[in-house]
Amino acid sequence: MAAVAVGAAAQQPDPDALYRQREDLALVRQAVEIWSARAAAGSDFEAAWKLARATYWIGTQGPERERRAALERGVKAGEQAVRLQPGQPEGHFWAAANMGALAESFGVMQGLKYRGRIKDELQKVLAMDPAWQQGSADRALGVWYLRVPGLFGGSRDRAREHLRRALAHNPQSTVTLYYLAEVAQADRLKDEARRLFQQVIDAPLDPDWAPEDRSFKLKAAEALKKLR
């Protein structure tokens, strides 16, 4: 029986290779099921955080009917990764990312439910390693301060501060530049917003984050049209 199990595992597709092709949702769904099976035993940290990352992609890029369930699954997977290795940033970050997408897309109650937890998880990542994943914790905190109403702790000044810190780790980050442009828009600084959206469009693709880059380039192009 052990030999059969080993043989089956050997024939299984590489989920990392599948995830790299995540613009094809059928492939990322395959990766999700592989990582889900590996995480089910409750002891595989890598499978848990990679499951949280993959479900975040489906929860933000997939069909509307799939998004909420994918994000809720991602929160649980991120929390599992945190329990397994609380001193590593991956679980904290991807749990927060899934919570953030739920808070932004599924109404006030989701925002209230997750607002404090998102900030706490991101601050933990920042304390561990500010440079992790090109300053992702600072970038996500910048988005948190941008999206949360001032009454509940939001601040465009703090948003700009965190996004600028993230940009220091990768000055051509399409994601960071895009959200800086949104801050400029919110502050009615149209010239700055135009410049930043154009930088998103002109930035080179990062081989590790090309799908995200393409998505933000399209969003920046649409935003730029509306500014003119």
Q: What is the pLDDT of residue 3?
A: 45
| Burial of 172 per CB tally in 10 Å (0-12, 13-18, 19+) | middle
d(CA 112, CA 121): 15
Q: What is the pLDDT of residue 6?
A: 47
Residue type, 167: L
- Please report how many Cα atoms fall inside a 13 Å half-sphere around the Cα of residue 215, on the Cβ side: 12
Q: What is the pLDDT of residue 108?
A: 56
Q: What is the pLDDT of residue 151?
A: 85
Q: What is the pLDDT of residue 4?
A: 44
Which residues 6+ apart lie within 8 Å of 87 measured at CB?
128
d(CA 165, CA 17): 31
Q: What is the pLDDT of residue 228?
A: 72
Q: What is the pLDDT of residue 109?
A: 58
- For residues 155 and 141, the answer to whether their CB atoms sit within 8 Å is no
Integer-rounded Cα Rg, in Å, for the chain is 18
Whole-Å CA distances, 79 to 92, 93, 147: 7, 10, 23
Sign, Cα dihedral of 140, 74, 83, 12: negative
Give the number of other CB atoms < 10 A from CB of residue 65: 7
Alpha carbon 6 to its chain centroid, in Å, reads 33
- Complete domains list, the chain, with CATH: 11-129 (1.25.40.10), 132-228 (1.25.40.10)
**Per-residue model confidence as pLDDT tens for the chain (228 residues):** 444 444 455 588 999 999 999 999 999 999 999 999 999 999 999 999 999 999 999 999 999 999 999 999 999 999 999 999 999 999 999 999 999 999 888 765 566 678 899 999 999 999 999 999 999 999 999 999 999 998 889 999 999 999 999 999 999 999 999 999 999 999 999 999 999 999 999 999 999 999 999 999 999 999 999 987
Closest CA to 71 of 107, 45, 43: 107
